[in-house]
Structure 1
Amino acid sequence: MSSHHIVRDDQEPALIIANGASCSEELLGQLLEWSPYVIVLDSAVERAIQLGIKIDVILGDFDREFDPYIYKNEQFPLEIIHTPNQDKTDLEKAFDFLIEKGHKAVNVVWATGKRADHTLVNLTTIVQYREQLKIVIFDDHSKIHLLPNQFTKWYTKNTILSLIPIGKVTGITTENLFYVLQNEELELGLRTGSSNHVSEDGIVQISHKEGHLLLIESLD
C-alpha cells in the first residue's frame, strides 16, 4: 500500500490513521487513493508499516520509549512531529497540525473499536473543529461526520442513516426518511435518531437549527 499518487487538486483530504480497531484492506486502500498526505499516530506506526503504508508524518507524544527516528530512512521523506501536550489526545493534535498546515479536510480511520472511551472521545471531539476542518471518520461499518445546518444528498432506498446529537440539537426536520422529524429535538441519552432509513431512492434533506448533529451512514 502507498499514499503516493497523482494529486488532482488541493481539495483531496489528508488521512489520519489512529490506533483503534483495524478496517478492511479494501477500505484502507480506497482511503489511501483519495489521500496524498498520510499522518499516522505514534501508537499505530508498526501496524501501518506492516501493511506497507507510506507514511508522510508520524505524530504523537512518543511515550512508551517510542523512537520514531528509526523509520527516517525506511519512510523517507518523513516528517516527525513530537506533541507532548497531555491536555489533548493525539488525534486532536493531528487535527491542530493539519489546520496549521492549511488543510481543509481529513479522513480518519482506525478511530473506532477497541476501547470504548477512545471511540466516544474520537467521535465527539470533532465538534470543536467544525469551523476549521471537514472531518469524516470511517470504519468497515460506518461513515461518520457532522452535519451542517442544511444537508442534502442522494441515497438509495433503505440506506440506514442515524442522527446522533452531541448534547442537545433543536429544530430538526427531515425529508425522505422513514421516521420523519418535523422541527423536533434530539438529546444524547434521552432521544436519538438511531437506525432511521431512506424511504425512496432520491434526495434526503436534513436540517437543524441549533446544536451539533452527527450523521452515521451505515455501510453494511
Structure 2
Amino acid sequence: MVKMLCDPVCPPPNLSQHPCCTVKCWKWDVNQITMNNLVKYGILILNRPITQNSGFIKNLWNRATIRMTVDGGTRQWDKFISGLSNEMQTTIKDPDLISGDFDSITDEILEKYKAKGCKVIHTPDQDRTDFTKAIMELNTHRKQTGLELSHIIAVAQTSGRFDQIVGNIQTLFLVKEELLLDPNTNVFLISDDSITWLLMPGDHVIYIPEETRQHKRAWCSLVPVGETCKYCTTTGLKWNLDNQSLRFGGIVSTSNTFDGSEKVTVKCSHTLMWSMRLPTIAIS
C-alpha cells in the first residue's frame, strides 16, 4: 500500500543541478484525494466557479492544514458557501489566508472575511499571476509558522479563458524551476472532474482508482509542455508508448485511457503534464 500521494525516492527540482542524484521512482496514490485521506496539505481556491461535489470540497477544505482563497477565488468561495445547506455552512471553516491584487473582488467581500479574522495579503506585482504569488505567500507563511506541507491542492478549472489555463500550468513549472516551495511539496490542479500535475524526469507509478478505471468515459493524457520529451515509455494505458518522443508538431498523448490495470507506469526523459478524470469528485 502506498502511504503518500507522492512517495519520491529522490525528487530533485532540476536534474541538471543534481548530477549525482538518480531518480528511481515516484509513487502517486490518487485514491488519497478521492477518499479524503490526505495529510499535511494546503488548499487554494482560484477564481473559477466551484463545480465539484460539495461534500468532497467541504471535506477537502476542512481537513487541510492551511486554507487559502486567491483574489476572485474569495468571491467564488463565498458563492459556493451560500449555496450549501445551513448545517454545512455552520461546519465549514474560514480561509486562513486571502491574497491577490484584488482586481476581481469587491471591497464588501474583503471586509466580510477580514471581520472573520482572515489574514489578507495584497500582492500587486503584475509580473506574476495571482496563483503564482499565492504560492509564494503560502510558502512564506509555511516558513514563518513551521508548517509541514507535502501537497498543495489548487481548485481551478480547465475551461474559460485559455490564457489563464496556460498561466496555471506555468505556475506548476515555476514551483519547480524557481523553488517556490520545498522541493518535496507537490502541486495539483483539480478541475470539474479531473486532476493535473507534473511528472518530472524519471520513473513514475500512478495508482488509478477503480471507479476511474471502470468509468465508460475515462480519459488520461501525457502532454509535453515547454520542451520535447525525447523518450517516454508507459504501461497500463490503452495506447501505450514505447520509447516514444512526445512533442507538439509530433505525437502528443491526449485522449488516452486505461487498460484496466491498477496502476500506470511512466518512464520519461523530460517533464510531462499528466491529467486524468476523477469521476467521484464531480456532481453526481
User: What range is the shorter-chain TM-score in?
Assistant: 0.7 to 0.9
User: Partner of 1:3 in structure 2?
Assistant: none
User: Partner of 1:47 in structure 2?
Assistant: 76
Aligned with 1:47: secondary structure? helix
Aligned CA distance change for structure 1 residues 189 and 30 (closer, same or farther; 3 Å): farther
Contact 2:222–2:253 at 8 Å: present in 1 too?
yes
The one-letter code of the counterpart of 2:61 is L
Contact 1:111–1:122 at 8 Å: present in 2 too?
no
The one-letter code of the counterpart of 1:122 is N
User: Partner of 2:223 in structure 1?
Assistant: 164
1:118 paired to 2:164: yes
Alpha-carbon separation, structure 1, partners of 2:71 and 2:104: 10
Paired residues for 1:27-46 under 5 Å: 27-46=56-75
Aligned CA distance change for structure 1 residues 176 and 46 (closer, same or farther; 3 Å): closer
The one-letter code of the counterpart of 2:193 is H
Alignment: residue pair count: 209
Q: Per-residue deviation at 1:160?
A: 2.5
Residue by residue over 1:33-72, the C-alpha shift from the partner in whole angstroms, topping out at 9 and shown as x without a partner, is 4413211112122331231552111101123684334422
Aligned CA distance change for structure 1 residues 69 and 184 (closer, same or farther; 3 Å): same
User: Partner of 1:142 in structure 2?
Assistant: 194
Q: Structure 2: which 5+ runs fail to align?
A: 1-36, 82-88, 143-148, 280-284
Aligned with 1:72: secondary structure? helix
Contact 1:108–1:135 at 8 Å: present in 2 too?
yes
Q: Per-residue deviation at 1:119?
A: 1.4
Q: Per-residue deviation at 1:31?
A: 2.2
Aligned CA distance change for structure 1 residues 81 and 111 (closer, same or farther; 3 Å): farther
Greater share of residues in strand = 1
The one-letter code of the counterpart of 1:161 is C
Q: Structure 1: which 5+ runs fail to align?
A: 1-7
Q: Per-residue deviation at 1:22?
A: 2.4
Paired residues for 1:1-220 under 5 Å: 11-24=39-52, 25-50=54-79, 51=81, 52=89, 54-63=94-103, 66-67=106-107, 68-73=110-115, 75-76=116-117, 78-102=118-142, 103-130=149-176, 132=181, 133-148=185-200, 149-155=202-208, 156=210, 157=213, 159-167=218-226, 168-210=228-270, 212-220=271-279
Aligned with 2:225: secondary structure? strand
Aligned CA distance change for structure 1 residues 14 and 26 (closer, same or farther; 3 Å): same
Identity of counterpart residues, as a percentage? Answer: 24
Root mean square deviation, CA, Å: 2.4
Alpha-carbon separation, structure 2, partners of 1:141 and 1:65: 26
Greater share of residues in helix = 2
The one-letter code of the counterpart of 1:125 is T
Aligned CA distance change for structure 1 residues 140 and 26 (closer, same or farther; 3 Å): farther
Contact 1:171–1:209 at 8 Å: present in 2 too?
yes
Q: Per-residue deviation at 1:146?
A: 0.7
Alpha-carbon separation, structure 2, partners of 1:64 and 1:200: 43
Residue by residue over 1:12-31, the C-alpha shift from the partner in whole angstroms, topping out at 9 and shown as x without a partner, is 21111001232222342242
Q: Per-residue deviation at 1:116?
A: 1.8
The one-letter code of the counterpart of 1:127 is F
Contact 1:21–1:114 at 8 Å: present in 2 too?
no
Alpha-carbon separation, structure 2, partners of 1:214 and 1:81: 30
Contact 2:190–2:196 at 8 Å: present in 1 too?
yes
Alpha-carbon separation, structure 1, partners of 2:74 and 2:188: 21
Provide TM-score, normalisation by structure 1. 0.83
The one-letter code of the counterpart of 1:12 is K
Residue by residue over 1:108-150, the C-alpha shift from the partner in whole angstroms, topping out at 9 and shown as x without a partner, is 1134322221112112321121353411111122111111321
Provide TM-score, normalisation by structure 2. 0.66
